[in-house]
Structure 1
Amino acid sequence: MADELLFTKENKIATITLNRPEKLNAFHDGMLADWAAALRECQADDGVNVVVLTGNGRVFCAGGDVSGFSRSEGNRALQMSTYLRQHVHPVARAVDALQKPYLCAMNGPATGAGLDMALLADIRYAKRSARFAETYVKVGLVLGDGGAFLLPRLIGLTKALEMFWTGDFVSAEEAERIGLISKAVDDDKIMEEIYTLAERLANGPTVAISLTKRAVYQALRSDLMSSLEAITGPMGVAASTEDHIEASTAFVEKRQPEFKGR
């Protein structure tokens, strides 16, 4: 991994850290390739139960570093389309394939594609001082990294369109109120809070957690009857795990279960 994107694993938790603070963690092609590769590795590694995304410095992510496009020659439409398909979208595809909790600790403001990258996470915590904006409109662009799909599902159509069309910032408190983030956290507690959640999930019934994630996302793209039928198989799998047997026994014995992750 390059120094501009850090990737570590410890105690069943993998951490991906955007590490380009002098550029407000704006990502470039190499960072994106490493990011997607890290996510794919997390999915394949049975020793990783939870993935945490965060950034170094005062900003979470200012989006893509596409400064070169303003000076580029040739077919700019083709260049931008190719950039999205070959570099940006592989991260979203890797997230979509990740069947483990993906948590985001937003250490500061997030704008444009930087916000969209955070929206890909299952759960987002943010510093109280952070602010968020969909700033594509301010540079004459449209949503390129999943924001048009993700944000309306999180905060509703009209509020999402307001953010898209104005590019205005919302505070962490407002973001929590409308559901853009799960929790606004005191600035000095952000990593403590996200790792508390990560550790709880990493040491929980991981098969059930993974199957639940899959069922929820499938349901968002389906209808009730299809979702009811689709859950019958995963329920059978979960019911056969050692974790379910242990939890059932612990309930009868009035004690806390000791999950093994299988």
Structure 2
Amino acid sequence: MTTEDVLQLTDAHGVRTLTLNRPKAYNSLTVELKERLLDALTQAAGDDAVRAIVLTGAGKAFCAGQDLKEHIGLLEAGDSAPLRTVAEHYNPIIRAIVDAPKPVIAAVNGPAAGAGAAFAYAADLRIAAASANFMMAFANVGLGPDSGASWTLQRLIGYGRALELMLLARTVDSTEALRIGLVSEVVADEDLPGRAHELAARLAAGPTAAFSKIKGTLSAAAQSTLEDALAAEDAAQSALGATADHTEAVRAFVEKRKPDFTGR
């Protein structure tokens, strides 16, 4: 494990775990942490040895969103950095999560609010600890959503529920999150790290080239016509049909054995 101060990186079994590491501040997002996270996501996406990514938090919280102490301090000092952070940090982080050519799992170990919750919404899969909860807190500080939450949240739980959570800034506990489809699984707090790694390792051993195309075609289809979606599927299948992973999977099926995927 290498420790990058506010961000911890751990590699095991093809899985890179990125741990937000400001537990005393509920892993709230300073400029430094946002920049480290963006760099780490970009590096993981381009590293062939990394076949799945887990994003989680240290301590009792996943991420409380923007560090408002730093935010107000910069505003009162006349620094324009807070006004640029959406374009410079949050938008690129969301793009890095959504566009990663490998699965991204959010292991939500505690409260997730604002941009922190939005990071989880942008992930491909979300597993929550029993103590986890989600809150769209933007209205409480006189702001609208950022970090892609206006796009991701309604696709997970529907427009009506998403609007309610945005307007009321209501906390959603893990039980409700599972019921409305915000997360796919809830486990005991102490079981979350192991379960997240187990799932990520399973994906890391899978056909990651196919996973990348699956992510891309679903994302495109969410904004396209049926004809465009059919064309995108055709292009993806043509490309994947020529991969070593596809040949290996078919051969393994015929030979009645487990395939050995390489991501190529």
TM-score range, shorter chain: over 0.9
CA gap of 1:237–1:226, structure 2 versus 1, over 3 A, is same
| CA displacement at 1:79 relative to structure 2 | 5.2
Shift of 1:35: 0.6
1:25 is matched with which residue: 9, 15, 27?
A: 27
C-alpha distance in 2 between matches for 1:242 and 1:94: 26
CA contact (8 A) 2:135 2:172 kept: yes
Report what 2:173 is aligned to. Answer: 171
- Equivalent position of 2:18 in the other structure: 16
Secondary structure at the counterpart of residue 110 of structure 1: strand
Residue pair 1:105, 1:125 contacting (<8 A) in 2 also: yes
Spell out the pairing of 1:58-207 with structure 2 (5 A cutoff).
Answer: 58-70=60-72, 72-73=75-76, 80-207=82-209
Q: Secondary structure at the match of 1:154?
A: helix
Distance change (3 Å), C-alpha of 1:69 and 1:18: closer
- Pairing 1:51–2:53 present: yes
Deviation at 1:250, TM superposition (A): 2.1
Secondary structure of the corresponding residue to residue 4 of structure 2? coil
What is residue 246 of structure 2 aligned with on the other side?
Answer: 244
Residue 180 of structure 1, CA deviation: 1.0
How far apart are residue 225 of structure 1 and its match?
0.7
1:242 positional shift? 2.0
SS, match of residue 259 in structure 1: coil
Change beyond 3 A, Cα 1:79–1:36:
closer
Report the alpha carbon displacement of residue 252 of structure 1 after superposing the two structures with TM: 2.2
Give the TM-score taking structure 1 as reference length.
0.93
- C-alpha RMSD over aligned residues: 1.8
SS at match of 1:195: helix
CA contact (8 A) 1:126 1:172 kept: yes
Percent of aligned pairs with the same residue? 39
Change (3 A) 1:104 1:69: closer
Flag the 1:260–1:166 CA change in 2: closer, same or farther, 3 A. Answer: same
Report what 1:39 is aligned to.
41
8 Å contact from structure 1 (residues 52, 198) kept in 2: yes
4+ long deviations beyond 4 Å: none
Q: Is the 8 A contact 2:38 2:89 kept in 1?
A: no
Unaligned segments of structure 1, at least 5 residues: none
Identify the match of residue 224 of structure 1 among 223, 226, 246.
226
C-alpha separation in 2, matches of 1:32 and 1:197: 26
| Aligned-partner Cα distance in 2 for 1:69–1:14 | 30
1:213 corresponds to which residue?
Answer: 215
Query: How far did 1:176 drift?
Result: 1.0
Amino acid at match of 1:94: A
- Distance in 2, Cα, partners of 1:113 & 1:169: 14
* CA-to-aligned-CA distance 1:169-226 (integer Å, 9 cap, x gap): 1111110111111111121111111111111111111211111111111111212110
Report deviation, 1:93. 2.5
Instruction: Kindly indicate whether the alpha-carbon contact (under 8 Å) linking 1:2 and 1:31 is maintained by their aligned counterparts in 2.
Output: no
Q: Deviations over 1:207-257 (max 9, x none)?
A: 111111111111112121101111222211211222212221222233322
Q: How many pairs are equivalent?
A: 261
How far is the alpha carbon of 1:2 from its aligned partner? Answer: 3.1
- Structure 1, 153-162 or 84-93: larger mean CA deviation: 84-93
Which segment is superposed worse, 64-73 or 138-147? 64-73
SS at 2:127 equivalent: strand
Contact 1:61 1:109 survives alignment (8 Å): yes
Moved more, 205-214 or 243-252: 243-252
**Which range is displaced more, 158-167 or 60-69?**
60-69
**TM-score of the pair, normalised by structure 2:** 0.93
Partner amino acid for 1:187?
A: D
Instruction: State the secondary structure of the residue aligned to 2:147.
Output: coil
